[in-house]
Structure 1
Amino acid sequence: MFDAGFWEFALIGVIMLIVVGPERMPAIARKAGMYIGKGKKIINKIKEDISDELDTDKIKEQLNFEDQGLDVTDVFQDTKNTLNEIKSGGTKN
């Protein structure tokens, strides 16, 4: 996202100390930490939802592929039955 080092955070801390004062700074820092934590949770939830949605698409593709495989199995079984009929000496109608 963005690259913030020690000096950037130190500058923000000094500005906060001047603007809000030393009495209110711990409470504001605590609230900021809570909001950052909530933001991270929301971002992780969104990432998880997107990942689940992509996995759902993969599962649908796999189910479609397996359905096509069932058709191949039916053809294979019909061919096997025909070969067995030929081996037995005739067709059964």
Structure 2
Amino acid sequence: MFGIGTGELMIIALVALIVLGPERLPKAARFAGLWVRRARAQWYSVKSELERELAAEELKRSVREAQRSIEDVGTQLRDAESRARSGLDDVRKGAEDLVADARRMPGDAPATHRDLPAPPVAPAPDEAPLPPEAIAGDPTRPPVVPPVTDEEVPRGAAR
């Protein structure tokens, strides 16, 4: 601890024995040991306090870094939200412009469901269906194909 070797300790003990004498040397050694123990205890106390403070400082630093990263993510989210809102506003404005243009030009407006012709209506059930010869002669009607039964399909053919 102090860089004192064994030989040096022997010289110190011999000088202490000569100076203090055999009667006072044990009491002086106990007193010196007491002070050494107190110094060590104080040293360990200071050391443990420093370690605790360093650990607390490290914890505080990591909390600050976490807060900074959370703030960065929050900033990125706010930026993304503002870009999304801006894009949505652009789309909304474009749609409003298209609607306004369509209202200004009623003759050129695209056909709506009201302007389209009505779909063809199937013949009423009380009307007699046309004979196959009449349907075959009409080029606007698709050809009528009779349904195929299971007996007419060859075995192994895909359906």
Query: TM-score, normalising length from structure 2?
Result: 0.45
Q: State which drifts further: 50-59 or 32-41.
A: 50-59
Distance 2:3 2:74 in 1: 60
Note the alpha carbon deviations across 1:54-77, whole angstroms, 9 max, x for none.
222211111111112323454576
**1:42 corresponding residue in structure 2:** 42
CA RMSD of aligned residues (A): 2.7
- Displacement of 1:7: 1.2
Report SS of the residue matched to 1:3.
Answer: coil
Report SS of the residue matched to 1:2.
Answer: coil
Choose between structure 1 and 2: higher helix proportion: 1
Larger RCO (alpha carbons 8 Å, 6+ apart): 1
Q: In structure 2, list runs of 5 or more residues that go unmatched.
A: 89-159
Indicate whether 1:69 and 2:32 are aligned: no
Note the alpha carbon deviations across 1:17-54, whole angstroms, 9 max, x for none.
11111011111101111100110111111111222222
- Displacement of 1:16: 0.7
**1:56 corresponding residue in structure 2:** 56
Number of positions where the alignment pairs a residue of Structure 1 with one of Structure 2: 87
Q: State which drifts further: 32-41 or 1-10.
A: 1-10
- Following superposition of structure 1 onto structure 2, how do residues 1-93 of structure 1 map, counting pairs within 5 Å? 1-74=1-74
**1:90 corresponding residue in structure 2:** none
Distance 1:64 1:32 in 2: 47
Query: TM-score, normalising length from structure 1?
Result: 0.72
Q: Percent identity?
A: 26
Distance 1:68 1:75 in 2: 10
Give the number of the structure whose alpha-carbon radius of gyration is greater: 2
Tell me which amino acid in the other structure corresponds to 1:14.
L
